[in-house]
Structure 1
């Protein structure tokens, strides 16, 4: 689905946002970040290439005029146009695919419309079966079956569908997460020399590893798909002109994946302190509040177990949970509700859904909780801090960087530690007040929206200038692909040498685009929901 919106301002710097399961078709932290970036730069011309589930997802954000076009790339919609390869084309693609699959399983041609039809054919399954039964490969010990081969090949075909969409031809390609959304950006770099900017809020590869621990596939299938994500992450880190993680924790994964440390710059999320003013009086009843999407990655089960321990000491305590349940997450919410009931606290744990004003969610608690097992630099945390509420958070991603000394941080998946921290704050009103004031001051000094927007505007302009220096006649016919590859490396060098913008002091299984629809073309077996975004 293509949505045309505003017109591109003449001579404006052009940026194509590459998203997966987030903006502009879904709510959540990454979508909030995208909306902030776009609205904060009316002088930049934006397009969006959004990897979605079926392609029928509605646009749920008000789109500003500087966004000229939105292109949806459905992972589980109709297959891309194309024809099965034959003759020399088939032999060449079979050889390339065999090398590709070997790389997926052994750590030690979408341009012509051939790849997707090839991956839907028998030859691709035969290649995979042959490769993973080679002597010496660990996956061989799991005795892969024909069903495994069909499942893995189907998942790969869907994962590679973004290669069939037209890549950006100019400006800057900005992937707002790693993974599948990056594929059009890598293509744009290869064909047209468009510099690739990567922003990682969470670590996409890490979250795939977490998600596939419980995915309903046998090990041979997981080996292929996780191998694909590993190679994609490594290629993205190598090719990006600049990587802007949302916290320093992500740098460790990026450097381990092959990123040049000199091309990594931490840029924290930011909020407008005026939009998140001090929350005002606390509730009279001791209350813990939480805000976010109801998702396994948020680990509400640990929060509910911790609350049960809190209530042993404070029988009047309440736990209020604010946020929507995304499509496919209904079973998880029901599991959490059943856990609260089973522990005897159904009367005190309330799922209150989305609220019109998120500040109401933070004001509802004496203490704001964050229980996630994976995060980037969570908006809900810095929003609650801006509202002057004391917080208890799990020590994941950039949480400790955000909180500093202005809140309590506990290990993830530890109900006893979380309960002890919550009781500590609930029992000391003066300490809550001091922490809340320190938290708001920390946001004002270090994590404002203006700092974030100004930093990315500088990055966009610098990358655009670097590309213009390499391609002075940007509107001229494309040069040979070999020249493009040489120029791509010069973008990285030029940006690393000349950048001066300082940084301030989140389809597929499992993916943010959800499970495939039932019926013909769906992947064999169920697909796990996203842990990203």
Structure 2
């Protein structure tokens, strides 16, 4: 079947979006952002390389004609086909992999991470990397490194089981290296981490400029996730070292970094991004698509919208709500949003917590809603309880709808809210409950805050501003790449390759 894409208009760049667990295979804030971006630029040809779970995920967004059928990179699907090489090539690949691992475990060898990564990428596209990483040889290489004297990890006495676990996790994490890298236009990674791998290779091999947009701080979220992960310390340390060095390489290579808020910028500068190549670009919404929500519900109601995921910390919200009901027994909590595949256990734990606290009858898990505006309209106050965020869509959408908000002070939340809502520390149910009660008991203040919030969105966070900014960025990077090609010396017949 021919690719489903129309040619971009003359002068418009070709853009390859690099995603992980989002567009176009799932819903959520980053997916909304991607959809808004591509629909706002019908003259730009878009391709999508999407890192997914199993590879069986359906496309849940209707793709416009100028977006090609997505290329999927399954992280946890069947093992990639291929056989390990033999002889000299196997020895060479083993040496490269050992240098790669050495960069992860020895601080003095970290400069070898990038060169080894790009050599592994060639092996991945040839179909030989994954078979080697699934072999006993790869496990022995890591086990041998871990026993070297002088390395911090040796004190933890890593086991063979640790080496098996870490090798398996690395094999999955490196699968995106097998994807065809972008060869033309602009590569736009809409998060850091493994989604950026094809873009890094595209820059290294073809000079394609890499644009990085982090909505949340990918590395920070890996730290949060692995802190409670089921692995022993040697495994956690190795994988977090991988993600840290990958983040640093991405910041080093990126032609431009466009964080969604100033908080992310601080992490990116600390990670090695050149401050001159960082431009903050806030998310935006269309105020006409999110008009004032109208009358509040007759019952005091807290509403929440988002993806049911540990990073959203619904446990704190449910605990805060239990405290609210001590003061307002008639209060209700409505939670709108789908549960990603694999997240069912977390949702069940949240339901169990509500029951344990005696709130099962007052807490409703509504699932996905066809019109997200109904989620905001259903609440007297809209809540956000996350422990990590970028510049959350649900917050600015609720503000555009004229609802007062209570949010945790993470990422770009305070930048979004300004003086138009209440902001509380994360993971503190008591503080969240006090703020919610403060607003639930003061209808005039809710009205004033809601009006100010909508005005703030109209003045600072419109979708048109966001799309126009990225259009100019694409053109700037594409033009710079073309000029760089034009300035390359032309090889003559007698030149040495």
Shorter-normalised TM range:
over 0.9
Instruction: Map 1:228-239; keep pairs closer than 5 Å.
Output: 228-239=242-253
**Shift, 1:473, TM fit:** 10
The 2-side partners of 1:253 and 1:9 are apart by 35
Give the one of 413, 420, 432 matched to 2:427: 413
**Shift, 1:3, TM fit:** 8.9
The 2-side partners of 1:81 and 1:165 are apart by 13
Moved over 4 A (4+): none
Instruction: Give the corresponding residue for 1:61.
Output: 61
Instruction: Give the corresponding residue for 1:88.
Output: 88
Q: Structure 2 stretches of 5 or more lacking a match?
A: 109-119
**Shift, 1:10, TM fit:** 5.5
Deviation track 1:440-474 (CA, whole Å, cap 9, x = no partner) reads 00000000000000000000001000011112499
Instruction: Give the corresponding residue for 2:117.
Output: none
Instruction: Map 1:293-442; keep pairs closer than 5 Å.
Output: 293-442=307-456
Give the one of 161, 164, 167 matched to 2:181: 167
**Shift, 1:188, TM fit:** 0.5
Instruction: Give the corresponding residue for 1:110.
Output: 121
Deviation track 1:280-324 (CA, whole Å, cap 9, x = no partner) reads 111111111111111111111111111111111111111111111
Instruction: Give the corresponding residue for 1:507.
Output: none
| Segment of structure 1 superposing worse, 246-255 or 233-242 | 246-255
> Is 2:239 the partner of 1:225?
yes
Is contact 1:20-1:177 (8 Å) kept? yes
> Is 2:295 the partner of 1:281?
yes
What is the aligned residue count? 477
Give the one of 142, 145, 151 matched to 2:156: 142
| Segment of structure 1 superposing worse, 293-302 or 397-406 | 293-302
The 2-side partners of 1:432 and 1:418 are apart by 16
The 1-side partners of 2:62 and 2:43 are apart by 18
Instruction: Give the corresponding residue for 1:245.
Output: 259
> Is 2:49 the partner of 1:38?
no
State the SS of the aligned residue for 2:76. coil
> Is 2:147 the partner of 1:133?
yes
Change (3 A) 1:434 1:200: same
Q: Structure 1 stretches of 5 or more lacking a match?
A: 484-533
Is contact 1:3-1:71 (8 Å) kept? no
The 2-side partners of 1:150 and 1:331 are apart by 26
| Segment of structure 1 superposing worse, 336-345 or 108-117 | 108-117
State the SS of the aligned residue for 2:70. strand
The 2-side partners of 1:447 and 1:47 are apart by 26
Instruction: Give the corresponding residue for 2:113.
Output: none
Instruction: Map 1:408-487; keep pairs closer than 5 Å.
Output: 408-472=422-486
> Is 2:4 the partner of 1:5?
yes
The 2-side partners of 1:325 and 1:116 are apart by 31
Higher RCO structure, 1 or 2 (CA under 8 Å, sep 6+): 1
Deviation track 1:325-353 (CA, whole Å, cap 9, x = no partner) reads 11111111111111111111111111111
Deviation track 1:101-125 (CA, whole Å, cap 9, x = no partner) reads 1111123433242322221122211
State the SS of the aligned residue for 1:208. helix
The 1-side partners of 2:31 and 2:106 are apart by 36
The 2-side partners of 1:422 and 1:23 are apart by 33
State the SS of the aligned residue for 1:327. coil
The 1-side partners of 2:348 and 2:94 are apart by 46
The 2-side partners of 1:107 and 1:327 are apart by 37
Is contact 1:8-1:68 (8 Å) kept? no
Is contact 1:250-1:397 (8 Å) kept? yes
| Segment of structure 1 superposing worse, 17-26 or 218-227 | 218-227
The 2-side partners of 1:132 and 1:85 are apart by 25
The 1-side partners of 2:69 and 2:364 are apart by 40
